[in-house]
């Protein structure tokens, strides 16, 4: 279980408060207007940013001050997920060993992940030779290899077309089913939330609300969300 305990983030005029928990294995979307602090909150959970106050706990363990790689989470960024000078297999291998000294078992895991995301035959390609959708698949394969209990997605599909995005969300859904990891996904599109996240955190007006039922939230949006959705 991921717990944000009285977390406060202040940066100049910016302010965000969060106090809620996410059940293990849950799939939660974070939506809200841009600038409200969705990605900032994700940064705090991922360990890139220290909260001004409060604690972050994963399965009861205080991870607030731990470095990003030791917190038990894997993250996919909006861009720059892949190192352009490495092949697909190497980029995925980084998830197994960040110094890339892979043993036979590591290589098997990588091969399995490549197969799982449907990139068999692309092992030796470099990111520049891949389409946008294939690049996302590589990043997801690495998440698979990392085997972390918490997966964070920071709008990695924002640049994809609608059909491709649907496909990727479907893939994420399947991968989460297989691994049982907890998913936290930032999005500015409520349709994403509706597609794979039964629960949604609304980030607006300096607050991240506790997760609530996505369908209910979108069917009867509170004023802040209504303003954002424009409906």
Partner 1 sequence: MAARAVAIARGAPGHVAAALVAAVILAPVAAVLWRAGGGGWPGPADWAALRFTLTQAALSALISVALAIPAARALARRRFAGRRLLITALGAPFILPVIVAVLGLLAVFGRGGLVNAGLDALGLPGIRIYGLHGVVLAHVFFNLPLATRIILQGWQSIPAERFRLAASLGMTPTDVMRHLEWPMLRAMLPGALMVIFAICLSSFAVALTLGGGPRATTVELAIYQAFRFDFDLGRAAVLASIQLALVTLAALAALRVTQAGGFGAGLDRSLRRFDAETPALRLLDAAVLLLVAAFLLTPMAAIVWRGGAALAGLPVAVWRAAAVSLGVAAASTVLTLALALPMALAALKRPWLEVVGLLGIAASPLVIGVGLFVLINPWADPTALALPVTALVNAVMALPFALRVMIPQLRDTVADFGRLADSLGMRARDRLRLVILPRLRRQIGFAAGLAAALSIGDLGVIALFADPDIATLPLQILRLMGAYRMDAAAGAGLLLLTLSLAVFWLLDQGGRADADA
Interface with partner 1 (CB under 8 A): 43, 46-49, 67-70, 73-75, 77, 80-81, 83-86, 94-95, 98-100, 126-128
Specify the residue, 17 or 75, whose C-beta has the smaller distance to partner 1: 75
> Cβ of residue 189: shortest distance to partner 1, in angstroms?
23
Q: Which residue has the tokens 């009285």?
A: 6
The C-alpha atoms of residue 150 and residue 194 are separated, in whole angstroms, by 20
What is the three-state SS of 177-209?
HHHCCEEEEECCCHHHHHHHCCEEEEEECCEEC
Residue with smaller CB distance to partner 1, 68 or 222: 68
Residue 184 or 217: the one with the smaller Cβ distance to partner 1 is 184
- Which one, 42 or 225, has the nearer CB to partner 1? 42
Report, in Å, the least distance between residue 46 CB and partner 1.
7
User: Shortest approach of partner 1 to residue 18 CB, angstroms?
Assistant: 17
Contact (Cβ atoms closer than 8 angstroms) between residue 185 and residue 28: yes
Beta carbon nearer to partner 1, 147 or 227: 147
Answer for the pair 190, 217: CB distance below 8 angstroms, yes or no. no
Tell me what percent of the chain is helix, strand and coil, each rounded to the nearest 5. Answer: 40, 25, 35
- Shortest Å, Cβ 127 to partner 1: 7
Report, in Å, the least distance between residue 167 CB and partner 1. Answer: 24
Alpha helix (H) residue ranges in 47-149? 88-96, 104-116, 132-146
The CB-of-187 to partner 1 minimum distance in angstroms stands at 19
Q: What is the closest distance, in whole angstroms, from the C-beta atom of residue 21 to partner 1 in the complex?
A: 23
| Residue 33 and residue 27 in contact, taking contact as beta carbons nearer than 8 Å | no
CB-nearer residue toward partner 1: 145 or 193: 145
Read off the DSSP letter of residue 127: G
Which residues does residue 200 pair with via DSSP β-bridges, in sequence order? 29, 212
Write the Ramachandran bin of 109: left for phi over 0, alpha for psi from -120 to 50, otherwise beta.
Answer: alpha
Q: Which is nearer to partner 1, 91 or 200 (CB)?
A: 91
């Amino acid at each position: 279980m991921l717990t944000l305990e009285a977390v406060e983030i202040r940066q100049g005029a910016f302010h965000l408060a969060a106090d809620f928990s996410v059940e293990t294995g849950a799939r939660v979307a974070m939506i809200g207007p841009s600038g409200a602090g969705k990605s900032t909150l994700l940064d705090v959970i991922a360990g890139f940013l220290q909260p001004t106050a409060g604690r972050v706990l994963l399965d009861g363990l205080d991870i607030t001050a731990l470095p990003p790689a030791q917190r038990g989470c894997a993250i996919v960024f909006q861009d720059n997920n892949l190192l352009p000078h490495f092949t697909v297999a190497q980029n995925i291998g980084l998830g197994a060993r960040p110094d890339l000294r892979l043993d036979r078992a590591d290589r098997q895991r990588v091969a399995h992940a490549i197969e799982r995301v449907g990139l068999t035959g692309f092992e030796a390609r470099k990111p520049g030779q891949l389409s946008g959708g294939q690049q996302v698949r590589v990043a997801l394969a690495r998440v698979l290899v990392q085997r972390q209990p918490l997966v964070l997605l920071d709008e990695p599909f924002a640049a994809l077309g609608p059909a491709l995005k649907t496909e990727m969300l479907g893939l994420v859904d399947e991968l989460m089913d297989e691994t049982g990891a907890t998913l936290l996904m930032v999005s500015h599109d409520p349709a994403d939330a509706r597609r794979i996240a039964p629960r949604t955190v609304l980030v607006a007006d300096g607050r991240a609300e506790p997760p609530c039922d996505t369908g209910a939230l979108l069917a009867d949006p509170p004023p802040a969300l209504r303003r954002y959705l424009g409906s």
